[in-house]
């Protein structure tokens, strides 16, 4: 929706001034006026992406992926939001279903994305691993067949481990820093 609105604005402006080059940085919608500074920072980060990656076009903050961490202000909330965006659905699922999706995803990456090797390391059948990976993709919206999505998920897991001290399999869910 935001892309369409901004695209119409650009088209209208170019009708008046055909040689005009426009770059847009757009934050996600915010309902609470208290979050306007956050929205401004997100839009500024998206605009920085527009300048870095091409200068002309529409860049939506939520579509920047890892680039938003590299281009952002470096504020911890941005980093936490990135980690929560990727791992939050898995943490919620694991806590409600006595699951092991986070551990499965970590094993998958540690096995260089080999399902066979990850299944062996987890002592599960390869179809179980395939099911879990499918569930991870459903919950996160990531496609583990795409390099960028794998990179986002791996980075989020590593940041989660560093921030919460989760290098142990038995770390309690409340150490993740999320309210349940």
- pLDDT tens for the 180 residues of the chain, in order: 888 888 888 889 889 998 888 888 899 889 999 989 989 988 888 888 888 777 668 888 888 877 777 776 555 566 778 888 899 999 999 999 988 999 999 999 999 999 999 999 999 999 999 999 999 999 999 999 999 999 999 999 988 886 664 444 444 443 343 333
What pLDDT score does 77 carry? 61
Rounded to the nearest 10 degrees, the angle between the axes of helix 76-97 and helix 147-164 is 90
Domains and CATH numbers, the chain: 2-64 (no CATH), 76-175 (1.10.10.2840)
What pLDDT score does 23 carry? 87
CB-CB contact of 85 with 75 (8 Å): no
Cα–Cα distance measured from residue 18 to residue 141, given in angstroms and rounded to the nearest whole number = 38
Cα–Cα distance measured from residue 16 to residue 127, given in angstroms and rounded to the nearest whole number = 59
Pick from 126, 4, 139, 137: which is nearest to 58 by CA? 4
What pLDDT score does 38 carry? 86
CB-CB contact of 35 with 61 (8 Å): no
What pLDDT score does 180 carry? 30
Distances, alpha carbon 67 to alpha carbons 74, 76, 83, 114, in Å: 12, 15, 14, 26
Cα–Cα distance measured from residue 26 to residue 47, given in angstroms and rounded to the nearest whole number = 7
Cα–Cα distance measured from residue 72 to residue 56, given in angstroms and rounded to the nearest whole number = 19
What pLDDT score does 76 carry? 55
């Amino acid at each position: 929706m935001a892309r369409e609105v901004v695209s119409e604005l650009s088209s209208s402006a170019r009708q008046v001034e055909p040689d005009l080059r426009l770059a847009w940085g757009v934050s996600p919608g915010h309902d609470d006026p208290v979050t306007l500074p956050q929205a401004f920072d997100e839009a500024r980060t998206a605009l920085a992406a527009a300048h870095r990656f091409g200068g002309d076009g529409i860049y939506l903050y939520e579509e920047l992926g890892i680039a938003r961490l590299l281009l952002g202000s470096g504020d911890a909330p941005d980093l936490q939001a990135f980690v929560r965006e990727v791992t939050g659905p898995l943490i919620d699922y694991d806590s409600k279903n006595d699951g092991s999706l986070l551990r499965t995803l970590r094993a998958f990456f540690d096995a260089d994305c080999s399902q066979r090797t990850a299944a062996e390391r987890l002592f599960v059948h390869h179809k179980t691993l395939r099911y879990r990976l499918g569930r991870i993709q459903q919950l996160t919206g990531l496609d583990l067949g795409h390099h960028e999505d794998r990179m986002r998920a791996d980075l989020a897991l590593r940041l989660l481990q560093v921030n919460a001290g989760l290098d142990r399999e038995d770390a309690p869910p409340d150490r993740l820093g999320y309210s349940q």
